[in-house]
Structure 1
Amino acid sequence: MKNTKNIFIMVLSGAYNLGDELILTSEIAWLENRFPEAKITIATYDEKSFLGDQEKYYFLSFFPNNIKKFPFQNLKYFFQTIWTIWKSDLIVIGGGGIFFDNEPGISFQKNLFEWKLRLFFARLFRKKVIFMGISLEVKKPENQEKLAKIFRKDDLILVRDARSAEILEKFQISATNLYDSVFLMPPKNLVKKSKIHTVGISLRDGFLTPYHVEILSNFVEVLSKNHKKIIFLSHSIFPSESHNDIHFVKKIFGEKYEVTLSMNETLDKYQEIDVMISMRLHATILAAQNNIPVMMIPYGPKTFSLSKILEIEPFMIAGENFSLESMLHKFSYLEHNFEKMQEKIHTKYRDIHQNFLQKLEKIDMMEP
């Protein structure tokens, strides 16, 4: 560990996604504690999206990055990436869902090619590679097989859910199942609230049918009529409308409710929230970190897995439970057991955080 002087970290940062930026800052804080003398270089699509101290680190643009519009700049990014990998002692990739074939409008083949290209130089220069807190959001067997080929036996692979470990096991690839990197953030002190005044809601586009939207709209309207303040928490503020929570919420609800307009505003608003209605994985983790009971709308394996980890499965809104009656019933239970549920989510998050740190401490990051 003492010989680790340069670390190159590649999270899918720079797209104004709060979850990805929190993964990055959480991992950096942990790496700095583990390797206090190391210099950290961050790959990003836009360093302005970074939530930490920008003056403290060196930023390098991902390659490719809008290559059709900026071909010559991308040539520079390409050679800078090669140089950075060559001089690094440790390459950290992830976490989060960096490999996927279930995102609307995003090509798995393109995603895989870009990571193969980056890893080619790490292999060429015989660098230690750590996949940290990743998940494999890959459904098709043929894609799973293609993805498995990018890993090597001497890679340290830390996944954040059991399904990802199972996918790799099919191809005789060893992985350690831990947690999402945002669980590295320490829990907030528990100061119990007596009543529910403010309800936070975090949605994401591409996974709700018109039927689900109608039920959700009716549920929000009932809460509002019962004098609950509604705040929609934007986790993705990417300029593209298809990845912009503000646009998605206003398309459904108009200007009727408060919507956060920046990642920092979203983080600040968690201090006001009493109960969370969440689709997004990192909105759910942030709620737990802030001792906020959660009703979760899972949309894929990673969110179903998280509900199990946090033991909030009875408060999932999915399948036959996605009805106005069921949602109101679950909310009523949280309201009548509010103090107990705050204590429960606080204890669960604290235990996960401590367990995560203990397991990481036992792992030799530089072992060949």
Structure 2
Amino acid sequence: MIRKATLCLFLLLSATSYAQQKGAYKDVSIPNKDITLSGTLIIPPGDKPVPAVILISGSGPHDRNETIAGKKPFLVIAEYLTRRGIAVLRYDDRGTSRSTGDYESAILPDFAADAQAAFNFLRKEPGIDPGKIGILGHSEGAMIGQIMAAGEKYLGFFVSMAGPAQDGILMAKEQSNLLYKDLPAAEGKVLRDIMDTLRQVVLEETDTVVMNSRIFNFVGKQYDSGELGLGGLITKEQFVEMYIANYRRPGFKALLLHDPTKFYSRIKCPVLAVNGDKDVHVDCEANLRAWKTGLTATGNSRVTIKAFPGLNHLFQRCKSCTIFEYGELPETISPEVLAYIQEWIAVQTGLKKS
């Protein structure tokens, strides 16, 4: 019969072994000037310092898991990489969940400063190899990563997941074409024209009050025209507010004015850019080509690009491949993509021979 003390010791050792197998979870606070980012760091078990990656979320205020349509892709990525020897730091966007600050007033350089603060924090963290820390940005997170990577000479590697590599205006136009390509021709044209006009308003106006007024009047007229057939589906006020909310943020104008070519010459670390070929937010072929040509033209020969057939913007194997099925698909992120990214990082950091 097992004595009580022996049983307690057995349970304690079993729990410790299980925790070591899963890795150590640690809630962290990351200071950046007048704000504090709240995040989670997972470090694999072991005695030696390990490589690490910082996850940077895409557009919109996201928590540390980049929760989208009920899916938690950053949680899946973090646990997958940690089980294979790579520490992962992910954090709530400023002004979101437990992080302080204001998301609405922030622009790309502000978010890049947040990523830089996370990098500086991680370099001092016990158990992390300071020479093998990289970043992984999804969608807009890769644009943020471009700015951060261009200013950080000690960055170990950079992974772009569905990240734009073209200037913001061209990217926005391509996105409109992709989003509306399956609509009836007349309806698609109306929506593309609306987007084109609104982008022009945002670029032209420096006065927020005037810009809001122009958007309000223009979008209201589109609703009243009846061409979109929205009567009974959404009120005019809801329709107009939706557009104003999306376009009045300083961050949106900053996105349109973002030019990756200004940063490519200063990105010296290895870069991996991956895309799903069914992505309706970021054109797969055009942007992967832009990553490759943009970086190699400025002297970075360590650039890898990879297109994944049949995957959407979230790297799910999709059916209709529209934005409306993100939450309906059973998959959070394709295992094929997870394995490819992990193996690439392992090669860059010496966990695996090339």
Fold conserved (TM > 0.5)?
Answer: no
Q: TM-score, normalised by structure 1?
A: 0.34
Larger radius of gyration: 2
